[in-house]
Amino acid sequence: MATIPAEQIWTSALNRAESIQAPFNHDKLIHFYDTTLRDGEQSVGVCFTPQEKFEIACKLAEMGVSRIESGFPRVSPEDTEAVKRILEAGLEAEIWGFARCVQADIDAHVELGTQYLLMEISTSDVKMEAYGFTRESVLKRVQDSVRHARKNGIKRVNFFAVDATRSDLGFLRQVYSTALAAGADEVSVVDTIGACAPEAVETLIREVRSWVGADVLVHWHGHNDFGLATASAIAAVRGGADYIQGTINGMGERAGNADICEVALALQALYNVPVALDLALAREVSALVQRAGGYTVDGWKPVVGEYLYTRESGAVATQFHIPEAIEPYSADIVRAERRIVLGKKSGLASVALKLQELDLDVPEDKHAAILNAVKVQATAAQRLMSDDEFRAVVARHG
């Protein structure tokens, strides 16, 4: 666990109100279950190689992720290879496998030596109808599959109720009870299509906790279809969840999954809840996953965006020397570089800071002409100005 120093957090004092902080257990360490290699890879067009999956798993473990989902070996020989390599790597994180409530899925993990297994089946009426399941057949599959896994050496089973948030609560309780009675150790509450409001998430987590008791670990797995995945994960923690499942960069099918780094930062900085994750590596891991996945996140994306600590605006540049005036938390938390860039929106302070950065000595009475040239050139080009271009401007006007 890496604790963020209080002096590096510059959030609102309103967050400290008793009504906001009281529902959280500030002594409980929240853990993360990363599913980038399986659920994250379901992002359209993304296909990780076994080597890329191995490298990502190693970095996730280094970042302090408690559990890493290695994948679904029955998908392809490449997935089988990736799972095997990750299991053999001796990482500090627990390596979990994914399986449907299908014996062949379970056996594929048993053959590879997987010790921890997340097992899924749909529990909502609409999903069961889509798959041709009945409530009776689902209960039997859950019971038989969990028993089979435990009988064949799987040390720990997490039962994952697909579309839990749209399931009949009476039946959902019956399914969880069946899974636990058959040998499952923990349960996942799953918002498969991101259809549950944060307030409802908290209520559901409290309800599930009352069903399974204090000793059973409860996971939350949410999607971002309404842009509320982080808020819903926070609500799940407030309701008593032990683990948050999610991905790096929030990648995943449709609008993606909860971004574990966003959730970790919000829990610590806004709610004073300890987490098992080192955000100092967040941007490095994010960049690795982007390269492997062949995509780029928005420059303004929380935690990992390229431009979070980059300032173009002249009004903001005047405050650049006081980070807490223009940022809610220190760049040091995520090992980001603070920098000034020049463009249409720059001001005299921007020019002064860039001259200082590049060790260029120009009289102050020349700064206005340089700024005007910067604005004209950047506006015409519709982009930022490079440092070499700025040096050329200084040479002409300085």
Q: Give pLDDT tens digits for 123-136.
A: 999 999 999 999 99
CA distance 320 to 312: 11
The pTM of the full predicted model, rounded to 2 decimals, is 0.94
CA distance 293 to 287: 10
186 three-class SS: strand
CA distance 33 to 94: 9
Type and span of the H or E element at 112: helix 103-112
Strands 217-222 and 186-191: parallel
Type and span of the H or E element at 119: strand 116-122
Q: How many CA atoms lie within 13 A of 15 on its CB side?
A: 14
Per-residue tens of pLDDT for the chain, all 398 residues: 678 999 999 999 999 999 999 999 999 999 999 999 999 999 999 999 999 999 999 999 999 999 999 999 988 999 999 999 999 999 999 999 999 999 999 999 999 999 999 999 999 999 999 999 999 999 999 999 999 999 999 999 999 999 999 999 999 999 999 999 999 999 999 999 999 999 999 999 999 999 999 999 999 999 999 999 999 999 999 999 999 999 999 999 999 999 999 999 999 999 999 999 999 999 999 999 999 999 999 999 999 999 999 999 999 999 999 999 999 999 999 999 999 999 999 999 999 999 999 999 999 999 999 999 999 999 999 999 999 999 999 999 87
Domains of the chain listed by start with CATH number = 7-293 (3.20.20.70), 310-397 (no CATH)
